[in-house]
Amino acid sequence: MDNNLPTNRFSLSERDFRKLSDFIETELGIKMPEAKKIMLESRLQKRLKALNLDSFRTYCEYLFSEEGQHNELLNMINIVTTNKTDFFREPNHFDFLYSYALPALEKSSLSLWSAGCSTGEEPYTLAMVLSNFSEKVRRIDFSILATDISTEVLRIAENGIYPFERIEPVPLEYRHRYMLKSKDSKVNQIRLKPEIRSKIDFKRLNLMDKNIDLKRNFEIIFCRNVIIYFDKTRQQELLKRFYNYLKPGGFLFLGHSETMAGFNLGFNSVAPTVYQRPV
């Protein structure tokens, strides 16, 4: 009996799981151990239904065909990537940014990179914090590059429209100054003001792509709750890349459960999960 045959059309065989998981780890850097098989199977069922395919075997054959790599790859990426985020997530980072990092960067113009920006709450939070600093402390011009591998979340981010309950962490002052509530009382949504949206350039980017060339360096990089999904080798490669993309004196912010322990990359630790490239 062939143990690789699916028990039914919506069951992912071990062979197909290994093929998919190897591809996801190699191309996206995302760890896909056996424990995630059921999760992957559940998420990909949506694609089988959308494509009217009768099995995961047929889906894999299509995905790895020339046509599938052109037409289906982005859909698969959108399905398997995790996109949990909030406005002012891990608020201590934004307190440190406002009170220490921005004053330490004695420049009139700053470039920031939100790597793994998901649906946009992080770069919009950054834009509001920097706008507030510019208005109240020291005039600065700034631009934010916000990247993610998922085209689905980037579409949401570019629109800058969110359900009202999503802005609960945003201070009331920021809501009044940087957000617009829908004029239709039946539509419970807000949108970031044009002057905030104009500060952010959203781009699709695979952080595992070895040919990344962003054409510029940054004073500040946020990459939070992203490298946790990578193995140690890919974590080190990405952190080294961030070091090279930071200007001397620039700051890198990681997620609360991420660390540089065990890596000797030249960063100085300046606060919990905040690192600085030496001047």
Active site residues: 43, 148
| Cα–Cα distances in angstroms (integers) from residue 229 to residues 4, 148, 159, 248, 269, in the given order | 27, 14, 27, 28, 22
Give SS3 for 176: helix
Beta bridge partners of 220: 112, 251
Whole-angstrom distance, CA of residue 254 vs CA of residue 260: 9
Sequence-ordered list of residues with C-beta below 8 angstroms from that of 31, at least 6 positions apart, any chain: 25, 229, 230, 231
Among the listed residues 5, 36, 7, the one whose alpha carbon sits nearest the alpha carbon of residue 20: 36
198: tokens are: 């104009």
Whole-angstrom distance, CA of residue 36 vs CA of residue 135: 47
| Under 8 Å between Cβ of 247 and 220 | no
Beta bridge partners of 276: 251, 268
Phi-psi domain of 52 (left: phi exceeds 0; alpha: psi -120 through 50; beta: other): left
Task: Name the strand (E) or helix (H) holding 137.
Answer: none
| Under 8 Å between Cβ of 114 and 123 | yes
- What sign does the dihedral 125-129-135-140 (CA atoms) show? negative
